[in-house]
Chains A and B, each alone.
Chain A
Amino acid sequence: MRGPLRNIAAIASTAVLELYRRRDVYTAVVLAIVVTVPLASVNVFGVKGIVRYLREITLLLVWLFTLVIGLTTAARQIPRELENRTIYALLAKPLRRSEFILGKFAGAVAATGLAVLLFYLCYVVLDGLKEGVWYTPVLPQVVLLHLALVALMTALVIFGSTFLTPSANVTCSALIVAGMLLFGQKIPEAAARAVAPASWILWTAHAVLPHFEFFDLRLRLVHGWEPISPAVLLAVLGYCTLYTTALLGGAVAIFSRKRL
């Protein structure tokens, strides 16, 4: 591996190591299993083979846990280095600040991404056991876009942590992620109904904020809708790439000028 990539990989590997040494993920997985297994065995009016409620609740838990894990993992990366003052020992090494940022980003994405895959594995096993169906064509799309969401969310949080205090950063990022997931689709409608200053704000938000709801294909998986077309999938991935690059670029620009 060449210099910069090697550095990025070295930094990223510590984030993965940390997440898995801290055992948060196992706790979350066990909790999710503990919650969903009894749900799977509920007797609904003596009718057998009902699955969608289970898919929905399991996916909700998967999303909830991975969002929390992803957000906290990403938000920890840079402030921890500053708090513990390890950043000085680190940046005294022959390392560019851009490599530091990208390494932190890659590490948080890799750590959360592994957690996401682990959670979906549990989902597939649970749903497969209950339903007898182990694969649906939407599933790979759901997982892929979930990973893309993790990347975008991590970039947002890393960007925020270059200029916000840790708590402000987590709060803002969580608000943006949750807000867009819940209401992202509805903003234009609300903007069309609102009056002057509010509508401008809403239109700006619609144009500028990262549209996390693009990555949420749960509905298709739960209710058995068909997969999205490859063109749409590519468009969403392209959006993710551009937005993530922009955020990371911003983070590098700010962090490179930062006085430590």
Chain B
Amino acid sequence: MKTILAAATAWGLAIFAGIALARLPQLRLPPGSRSVAALLLGGARSVLSDDMYQRADLYYHGGVAHRHEPGGEHRQTETPTEAAGARGRRFSPLSEADTASAPHKTMGKAAAAQPRGYSIIREGRRTEAGDHEHGHEGEETAVPRWDLWSRLNRRIHPSGHRHLRGPRYEKEVLPWLWAAIRCNPHNVTAYDVAAYWVAERLKHPEEGLKILAEGIRNNPDAYRLEFTRGEILLHMLKDREAAFNAFHAAMRKWETTYARAPEKKKPDVFQYGNILLYLAVLSERKNALEDARRYYKAALDTREGNARKDIARRLAAVEEKLGAEAESASAPKPEKTGG
């Protein structure tokens, strides 16, 4: 009796504490001061938060754990979609110029060079329509024939690869992201992914922006949140002006982040390039060609190989237009082009 009561009480208290913390958003203090969660949980909170975040990833895979070892032998078990999605970026600034959301082909390679994150954000495009969970069971790795117990385990526990598809299932990851944020309001990745998931996957862009607003309030320096805000504004709400401002804020935050701690961290150049490219494309659309040229030029150094060539080509096009404008400016009747 005592044992049961003790165990039950401990559990109840732990979970109640979690709920109580979660239920008191108004108690979350202004940025810079320590939150209630931080006060109660101390250092454990970020561990807990990361754990919740990983749980979200686990849910995305139907509860079956997947290893993501950079360059490891398990690489080939990933789906092509995963390999192609560039570390959570489901839109490509360059292709944005033409279509809404087709991922850019060259980004896969860039992704391979990036540190691998969790696949919940790496998995990018929706390739199939409708609500279903796709995947297959019994993804076999070698089990000796005589090892009956392991063979039985293989048939009892799902081990296949499976992804949530469609809003009905995709929303299942959210409680853990929510919990990750509630445990640690400085978990920028959790805010980022939650916002993307709610806005893009579940088609609630306003909710996504709310999450980002909260995240930005708690993490004023996080350029990634501004970047995601820009993407949602641009791709889902089609508000180019607001998107431009968000990307611009992202750029400034990126620059201050790495200006402040230049040698401590290796700068996230790839992300910087994404920001610049969005800014460039949006400037180009506004016909602010001077700005566009500046952004393209800056972006050039963030990419290599084919991606760099792509940018160079666009830069050349902008410069050409600029030249033409200069010419037509000297001519009597100036005419607007592009857009």
Contacts and interface: CB of A to CB of B under 8 A. Distances in A.
Whether the complex brings A and B within 8 Å at their CB atoms is answered yes
Given A28-B8, A53-B175, A188-B150, A72 B156 contact: no
Interface residues of A, number: 50
B153 A185 contact: yes
A232 B152 contact: yes
A213 B153 contact: yes
Nearest to A214: B156
Interface string A180-221: 000011001000000000000000001100010110110110
Contacts of A65: 4, 7-8
A36 B176 CA distance: 16
The DSSP consensus for interface residues of chain A is helix
Which of B143, B175, B198, B211 has the most chain A CB atoms inside 10 A of its CB?
B175
Contact of A35 (B16, B59, B133, B143): B16
Nearest to A174: B3
Given A28-B8, A68-B7, A188-B147, A47 B63 contact: no
B83 interface: no
Interface stretch (A5-13, A37-45, A97-105, A248-256): A37-45
B155 interface: yes
Nearest to B206: A46
A195 to B, nearest CB: 19
Contact of A225 (B4, B62, B176, B211): B62
Contacts of A50: 171-172, 174-175
B59 A46 contact: no
Contact of B3 (A39, A72, A216, A222): A72
A22 interface: yes
A28 B156 CA distance: 29
A45 B156 contact: no
B44 to A, nearest CB: 19
Nearest to A226: B137
Nearest to B176: A53
A236 interface: yes
A34 B12 contact: yes
A123 to B, nearest CB: 16
Interface in B183-242: 194, 198, 202, 204, 207, 210-211
Interface string B1-32: 10111011101100110010010000000000
A51 interface: yes
Contacts of B152: 211, 214, 232, 235-236, 239
B1 A24 contact: yes
Nearest to A72: B3
Nearest to A34: B12
A68 B3 contact: yes
A226 B59 CA distance: 16
A51 B174 CA distance: 10
Contacts of B171: 47, 49-50
A149 B11 CA distance: 22
B158 interface: yes
Contacts of A217: 156
A52 interface: yes
Contacts, number: 123
Contacts of B172: 50-53
B178 interface: yes
A229 B211 CA distance: 43
Interface in B38-87: 59, 62-64
Given A222-B63, A224-B133, A35 B11 contact: yes
Contacts of B11: 31, 35, 61, 64
Given A47-B202, A64-B7, A42 B156 contact: no
A238 B8 CA distance: 33
Nearest to B143: A188
Contacts of A229: 155
A232 B198 contact: no
A45 B211 contact: yes
A119 B210 CA distance: 38
A215 to B, nearest CB: 9
B174 A47 contact: yes
Contact of B175 (A24, A44, A188, A236): A44
Nearest to B63: A223
A86 B15 CA distance: 41
Contacts of B175: 42, 44, 50, 53
A72 B204 contact: no
A27 interface: yes
A228 B12 contact: no
Given A46-B207, A47-B204, A225-B62, A31 B156 contact: no
Interface of A: 22, 24, 27-28, 31-32, 34-35, 38-39, 42, 44-47, 49-53, 57, 61, 64-65, 68-69, 72, 184-185, 188, 206-207, 211, 213-214, 216-217, 219-220, 222-226, 228-229, 232, 235-236, 239
30 contacts: A24-B1, A24-B5, A27-B4, A27-B5, A31-B8, A31-B12, A38-B16, A44-B175, A46-B204, A47-B174, A50-B172, A50-B174, A53-B176, A57-B15, A68-B3, A68-B7, A68-B8, A72-B4, A184-B153, A188-B143, A188-B147, A211-B152, A211-B153, A213-B153, A219-B63, A223-B59, A223-B63, A224-B133, A232-B155, A232-B156
Given A35-B15, A47-B174, 10 more contacts: A31-B9, A38-B16, A44-B175, A47-B207, A52-B59, A69-B4, A185-B153, A188-B150, A213-B156, A214-B156
Per CB-CB distance, the 3 closest pairs between chain A and chain B, nearest first, are A53-B175, A223-B63, A52-B172
